[in-house]
Amino acid sequence: MVTAATSGSGEPHGDLAERLRSRTNAETGKSLVQRLRSTPGAMDPALASCLSMQVAFHHAGLTLEERDLLEGAFREGAVRALVATTTLSSGVNLPARRVIIRSANFQGNPIDSLSYHQMVGRAGRMGLDTQGESILMCRDSDRSLAQRLSRAEAQPITSCLTGSSTSLRRALLEVGATSSHLFLNDCF
């Protein structure tokens, strides 16, 4: 999995796709393109080109159906490399052995340690892989930031579900809305 700062920096990774060409299954790539064409919306030509080589990009500009399909294909091994914005940096349990973070800065600001830990935490997920590694690419000018991030202790996380019943109700409504959406997609 490769983490990119913006959707534009995630899409043009045809060079990665070209390097993987010798390791791909052409039929699997064609099948992915066909499955994606069956989702609502127009098929992105850049995504179709990458998918033909079992490489995909993932960002908030994709439809929910496209993102679900790509995540499922990555879980199944049909997508072998996934370039993503921070849309996949937390809360998603994907079988990524290696996570590459392309910069120590996102949108002109240094990555904070919580975001960094969330991104590197995608590698080697328990129950999905036996090992994981992360690579943080940086310029010489960002070397001290990269060293601080790699040495930083994980920050404590506070649940939004404790404290007030309003937060719990909102979380339950979000789960219900997502479940309803998935149910409707399955039915129609």
Q: What is the pLDDT of residue 147?
A: 94
Q: What is the pLDDT of residue 188?
A: 47
Q: pTM of the predicted model, to two decimals?
A: 0.68
Per-position DSSP letters for 101-119, written without gaps between them: E--SEETTEEPPHHHHHHH
Q: What is the pLDDT of residue 108?
A: 86
Tokens of 62: 């994709």
Tokens of 60: 């908030």
What DSSP designation does 136 have? Answer: E
87 residue type, one letter: T
Residue 32 and residue 77 in contact, taking contact as beta carbons nearer than 8 Å: no
Buried (b) or exposed (e) across 57-93, using 16+ Cβ within 10 A?
A: bbbeebeeebbebbbebbeeebbbbbbbbbbbbeebe
Question: What distance in Å separates the CA atoms of residue 167 and residue 2, rounded to the nearest whole number?
Answer: 32
Q: Extract the residue ranges of the chain whose pLDDT is less than 70.
A: 1, 3-24, 91, 160-164, 171, 175-188
